[in-house]
Amino acid sequence: MRVIVWLVEGTWPACVDAVHRHAPHATDVVLLYVDEPGVPGLAHGAFAGLLGRAHSEHDPGDRLEDLGTSSAQRLLDAAAERLARPCTRLERTGRAEREVVAAAEGADLLVLARDGDRSRLGPHSLGPAGRFVVDHVPCPVLLVWPETAPDVTTLPGVAP
């Protein structure tokens, strides 16, 4: 059984714990982190366009890229340690939702956490990226709450 675990800052521990609870006998666990290049690209552009190229300062976009790479490695390392069994660490770059769907091709299960409004039950508990993945991924999905799920009284249309 091949399981892809989409790791996102702030929610990844719940995904790793879900593998322990719901896919304990998975033979191939892939920890996936997707780096979106938007922020470093903006910094590169600002440095070149607003500050000019004649300055001797270093491009802040380079520093942001370095920080993003080391942050991703630390997150993947922490997730592998929490998983406490052999796994593959996979880092991809691009639009997160599309990279996750592509990485899940051929998988038996994708584990991801809710990325929207987690204060109440309902469709808004999925943000745009999570919604895209759930709608398009070509394998079964295990969608977990990163923290305790809200009470059923938070359902839309239910009086408190």
CB neighbour list of residue 66: distance below 8 Å, 6 or more residues apart? none
Residue 160 has pLDDT above 60, yes or no: no
Distances (CA, A) of 70 to 5, 49, 65, 119, 157: 19, 27, 9, 31, 45
- The pLDDT, as a whole number, for residue 75 is 95
The average pLDDT across 129-139 equals 96
CA distance 45 to 51: 9
pTM of the model: 0.82
